């Protein structure tokens, strides 16, 4: 989605403040990343991406990967960040990028 | 040596991919591609295709797939992943310009599932494959409402992400304003001829 600069800044602050409680906002994060490559609708990653990534990675590794279809947008974004932002995590989350998933239909 | 890229602005499938590729090359340090828009369905009477690349006075190619591949060879640090992109470039021309939605939807579903866990077509950067596919979808009149309504959720996310990059999003506008300018100029020209 094409966010204005102001909307992007607001989204960065919002996600930075949600990062410490990310376990309560998994659905929202997935919904956001459904329509946006990065969390704040930017063309490149922001501090918010980095903070949310660090917060959500343990949860992703432990739980979210068990249901790839439901969490596909978060997992897509994790894979993007772990392969493009140096020094984000020590070990990469393993994902089969060609996993057969049911097609999502817009609600 | 500088290049001229002739683009038929009224072609059934306007070559947005080549316009975007040229924008990538021209915004890099080694780029020098002059864009020349033609107000017609083909490049000229003699060149019956939607695009033509010239190097100096010599025609490099009049085939749009060949031209994109040529850019990949000549500008490998700008138009990335030439080799891996080839099948996608072919796919974009053969499958994604189709206007029959029933046929088109089969291939859009393939693209949709490819983008389930990917942010780009190949790897983690914009490559020739992204440029080719984006250009084909932009040129296909069926796709406007399909993209707007997020019929294919991943395709729409990927498409809009690229569109927000000026090298993609601003090229269709550049084309239409250039064509409008030309029309204005030729009208004025005619008037002057009349006066004389």
Is the predicted pLDDT of residue B1 greater than 80, yes or no?
Answer: no
pLDDT at B196: 42
> B57 to chain A nearest CA, in Å?
38
- DSSP β-bridge partners for residue B8: B38
Question: Is A13 in contact with A51 (CB distance < 8 Å)?
Answer: no
Please tell me the predicted confidence (pLDDT) of residue B185: 87
Q: How confident is the model at residue B195 (pLDDT cuts 50, 70, 90)?
A: very low
Check residue B30 and give its pLDDT.
76
Q: Give the nearest chain A residue to B112 (CA atoms).
A: A103
Mean pLDDT (chain B) is 94
Is B47 strand, coil or helix?
coil
Q: What's the confidence (pLDDT) of residue B85?
A: 98
Q: Is the pLDDT of residue B156 over 60?
A: yes
For A103, which DSSP code?
A: P
Determine whether B124 is exposed, middle or buried from the number of CB atoms within 10 Å of its CB (0-12, 13-18, 19+): middle
Distance CA B120, CA B130 (A): 7
Distance CA B139, CA B133 (A): 10
Q: Where are the alpha helices (DSSP H) in chain A?
A: 5-18, 26-35, 47-62, 72-84
Closest CA to A80 of B51, B120, B45, B130: B120
Strand partners, B58: B55
pLDDT at A1: 53
Contact across the interface for A101 and B109, Cβ inside 8 Å:
no
Q: What is the CATH T-level fold of the domain A5-84, as seen in this structure?
A: Glutathione S-transferase Yfyf (Class Pi); Chain A, domain 2 (1.20.1050)
Chain B, nearest residue to A78 by Cα? B117
Q: Which segments of B97-152 does DSSP mark as H helices, in order?
A: 101-114, 128-139, 143-148
Q: Does the beta carbon of B158 lie under 8 angstroms from any beta carbon of chain A?
A: yes
Between the CA of residue B133 and those of A29, A76, B14, B18, B184, what are the distances in Å?
A: 28, 20, 13, 11, 33
pLDDT at B194 over 70: no
Q: How far is A67 from chain B (nearest CA, A)?
A: 13
Evaluated on CA atoms B138, B141, B144, B147, the torsion sign reads: negative
Asked if A88 is an interface residue toward chain B (Cβ–Cβ < 8 A), one would say no
Mean pLDDT of B60-83: 97
Paired with B59 in beta bridges are B54
B52 φ/ψ sector (left φ>0, alpha ψ -120 to 50, else beta): beta
Helix or strand run (H / E) with residue B5: strand B3-8
| pLDDT of residue B178 exceeding 80 | yes
Average pLDDT score over chain A: 95
pLDDT surpasses 70 at B191: no
| Complex ipTM more than 0.85, yes or no | yes
Q: Which of B100, B93, B177, B72 lies closest to B135, judged by CA?
A: B93
- Per-residue pLDDT reduced to its tens digit, B24-65: 999 998 789 999 999 999 999 999 999 999 999 999 999 999
Please state, in angstroms and as integers, the Cα–Cα distance from residue B136 to each residue in A29, B20, B84, following that order.
31, 11, 18
List of chain A residues with pLDDT < 70: 1-2
Pairs of residues, one from chain A and one from chain B, whose beta carbons lie less than 8 Å apart: 54
**What are the structural domain ranges in chain A?**
5-84
pLDDT of residue A106: 82
Q: Please tell me the predicted confidence (pLDDT) of residue A57.
A: 96
Are the C-beta atoms of B10 and B39 separated by less than 8 Å?
yes
Domains and CATH numbers, chain B: 83-164 (1.20.1050.10)
For B141, the 3-state DSSP assignment is coil
Question: Going by DSSP bridges, is the β-strand pair B51-55/B33-38 parallel, antiparallel, or unpaired?
Answer: unpaired
Q: Does B119 touch chain A (CB under 8 A)?
A: yes
């Amino acid at each position: 989605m094409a966010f204005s600069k102001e909307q992007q800044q607001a989204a960065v602050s919002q996600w930075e403040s949600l990062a410490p409680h990310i376990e309560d906002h998994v659905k929202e994060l997935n919904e956001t990343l459904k329509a946006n490559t990065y969390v704040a609708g930017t063309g490149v990653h922001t501090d918010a991406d980095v903070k949310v990534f660090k917060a959500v990675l343990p949860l992703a590794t432990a739980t979210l990967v068990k249901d790839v279809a439901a969490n596909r947008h978060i997992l897509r974004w994790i894979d993007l960040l772990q392969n493009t932002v140096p020094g984000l995590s020590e070990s990469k989350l393993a994902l089969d990028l060609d996993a057969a998933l049911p097609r999502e239909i817009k609600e | 040596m500088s290049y001229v890229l002739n683009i038929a602005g009224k072609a059934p499938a306007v070559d947005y991919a080549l316009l975007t590729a040229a924008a990538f090359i021209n915004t890099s340090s080694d780029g020098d591609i002059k864009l020349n828009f033609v107000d017609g369905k083909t490049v000229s009477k003699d060149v019956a295709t939607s695009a033509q690349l010239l190097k100096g006075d010599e025609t490099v190619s009049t085939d749009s797939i060949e031209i994109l591949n040529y850019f990949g060879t000549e500008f490998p640090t700008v138009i990335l992943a030439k080799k891996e992109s080839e099948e996608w470039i072919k796919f974009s021309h053969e499958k994604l310009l189709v206007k029959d939605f029933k046929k088109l939807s089969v291939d859009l579903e393939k693209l949709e599932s490819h983008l389930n866990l990917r942010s780009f077509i190949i790897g983690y950067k914009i490559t020739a494959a992204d440029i080719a596919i984006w250009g084909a979808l932009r040129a296909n009149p069926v796709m406007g409402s399909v993209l707007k309504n997020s019929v294919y959720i991943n395709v729409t996310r990927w498409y809009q992400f690229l569109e927000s990059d000026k090298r993609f999003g601003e090229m269709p506008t550049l084309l239409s304003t250039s064509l409008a300018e030309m029309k204005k100029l030729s009208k004025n020209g005619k008037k002057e001829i009349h006066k004389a």
